[in-house]
Amino acid sequence: MEMAFAGQTPPLVDDRSANGIFRVSRHAFVEQSVFESEQREIFNKCWLYLGHDSEVAAPGDFLTRSVVGRKIIFTRNKAGKVGAFFNTCPHRGALVCREKQGSANLFRCFYHSWAFDLDGKLINRPGHESYADDANANGEHNLVPVPRLESYRGLYFLNFDRNACDLASYLGNSMEFIDLVMDQSADGMEVIGGTQEYGFKANWKLLAENSADGYHGQPTHATYFDYVMSTNGNLGDNVVKISKPHDLGQGHAVVEYGAPWGRPIAKAVPAWGEEGEREAAALRADLTQRLGAERADRIAYTNRNMVIFPNFVINDIMAITLRTFEPVGPGQMRVNAWALGPKGEAPKARERRLYNFLEFLGPGGFATPDDCEALALCQEGYSNMAEAGWNDISKGLNQERPTIEDEVQMRAFWREWSRRIEGERA
């Protein structure tokens, strides 16, 4: 197969779809030069998820986050406007805010006590009389705002490239599926239950693949599916039958399929009991009244696993999960995850939602340890890439009606990755 590239360097993504071939070089997962190119061409230029509107709900609320290694303050000012600043003092570079979250009237640097208001403006520095009167005339001693900050349906994204396209253009067709999540409550959605933080030894792109990979579900998570069978009696017959993967363009992709388990929004299972059945019926009636029967059914009875390129996942399954994963190096990633739920949700439904979030998706749940182990094993196996150098991602290629067990969504990701890293090929 290498003869197809005689006289030229083989690509990292070998896309010869007309011949039934789609594969990825394992060098893409291990090379330092690839990691550096990704930092420059992907993470410095794409829209990256920062946080949800509900996490800075009131004026003065703030949280600090790391976004691909950059320390960020995410806050809401006194007028209610949301902002984001690099968490570094313009004086000597120290972190200005050392707390993970809270509420404040100002931010004060521990080192020399320079103070900044919620708009990032310098408002005090000890010994100010020793500075020139116009020392901050051009704002160079203010906190530096991120180049771009925009939101859609309460989800805030930043971009380190001030010349990037607007967020709506970037999200494109993925907004249809974001709407299916955000429309679940007339009162809005909110982040609940804190942050899950963990890391493991695998390349970040493996989790981009895994997050919308229906093919691995039953083999890898057999224990969980056995548990679902024991509590609910069956997995349903709609998981694959009504499933559909969507290439949403620009590297974004989603798989949508019949839910084989309970969904807190409006799909009960026997294990929930009569009270749970009544709650689900009431929620289903509300959805129908607000959105119509067809859209209500789609929201209530189907799951969605969506990857927004490059590293943001929305899993709308037995709970709603927002997840980011970022590279620490070629063979190491850091993961953060949050649960999302409707504002004003009934206490029992909220408890059920959080339990599902931890039970399947938590770092100690049924699924996440399985996935971490599988991806770490892949990374370890790439030590043999000199003799076994390619990953095959051709399942379902050129099929008229692919299912979630095919790899449409992975090919969507890799085509965009290749466009950004390798450029357009003749």
Q: Whose CA is closest to 262, among 284, 240, 245?
A: 284
Q: Which residues pair with 341 in a beta bridge?
A: 190
Q: Which strands sit side by side in the sheet containing 115-116, from one edge to the other?
A: 107-108, 115-116, 122-124
- Choice among 57-61, 125-129, 144-148, 312-316 with the minimum mean pLDDT: 125-129
What whole-number distance in Å separates Cα of residue 92 and Cα of residue 412?
A: 43
Pick the CATH number of 183-421 from 3.90.380.10, 3.50.50.60, 3.40.30.10, 3.40.220.10: 3.90.380.10
* Averaged pLDDT of the chain: 91
- Choice among 81-85, 116-120, 137-141, 218-222 with the minimum mean pLDDT: 218-222
pLDDT tens sequence across 388-397: 999 999 999 9
The SS3 assignment for 200 reads strand
pLDDT tens sequence across 227-267: 666 666 555 555 555 578 999 999 999 999 988 888 888 88
Sign (positive or negative) of CA dihedral 119, 125, 128, 130: negative
Q: In which region does residue 119 sit, left (phi positive, over 0), alpha (psi from -120 to 50) or beta (all else)? A: alpha
Q: Which strands sit side by side in the sheet containing 148-152, from one edge to the other?
A: 48-52, 155-159, 148-152
Task: Give per-residue burial for 355-391: e unless 16+ CB within 10 Å, then b.
Answer: ebbbbbbbeebbbbebbbebbeebbeebeebeeeebb
Residue 288 in this model has a pLDDT that exceeds 90: yes
Residue 212 in this model has a pLDDT that exceeds 90: no
What confidence category does residue 129 fall into, taking pLDDT thresholds of 50, 70 and 90?
A: confident
The SS3 assignment for 157 reads strand
Provide the residue count of the chain. 426
State residue 82's pLDDT score: 99
Kindly state the average pLDDT of the residues 322-345.
97
Token pair listed for 386: 């000199």
Residue 341 in this model has a pLDDT that exceeds 70: yes
Angle, helix 273-291 to helix 293-301, in steps of 10 degrees? 140
Provide the residue ranges of all domains of the chain, joining segments of one domain with +. Answer: 48-167, 183-421
State residue 410's pLDDT score: 95
| Measured torsion, CA atoms of residues 287, 292, 297, 299, in degrees rounded to the nearest 10 | -60
What confidence category does residue 367 fall into, taking pLDDT thresholds of 50, 70 and 90?
A: confident
CA angle 215, 176, 172 (to 5 degrees): 95
- Choice among 8-12, 83-87, 307-311 with the minimum mean pLDDT: 8-12
Q: Which residues pair with 312 in a beta bridge?
A: 308, 324
Residue 131 in this model has a pLDDT that exceeds 90: no
- Choice among 13-27, 77-91, 241-255 with the minimum mean pLDDT: 241-255
pLDDT tens sequence across 136-163: 889 899 999 999 999 999 999 999 999 9
Give the CATH superfamily of 48-167: Rieske [2Fe-2S] iron-sulphur domain (2.102.10.10)
pLDDT tens sequence across 36-53: 999 999 999 999 999 999
Angle, helix 347-361 to helix 273-291, in steps of 10 degrees? 100
What whole-number distance in Å separates Cα of residue 16 and Cα of residue 394?
A: 10
State residue 2's pLDDT score: 47
pLDDT tens sequence across 343-353: 999 998 899 89
State residue 9's pLDDT score: 67
Higher-scoring residue by pLDDT: 348, 177: 177
State residue 426's pLDDT score: 36
Fold: same for 48-167 and 183-421: no
What whole-number distance in Å separates Cα of residue 112 and Cα of residue 126?
A: 8
What confidence category does residue 364 fall into, taking pLDDT thresholds of 50, 70 and 90?
A: confident
Question: For the whole model, what pTM was predicted?
Answer: 0.93
Higher-scoring residue by pLDDT: 367, 223: 367
pLDDT above 70: percentage of residues in the chain: 91
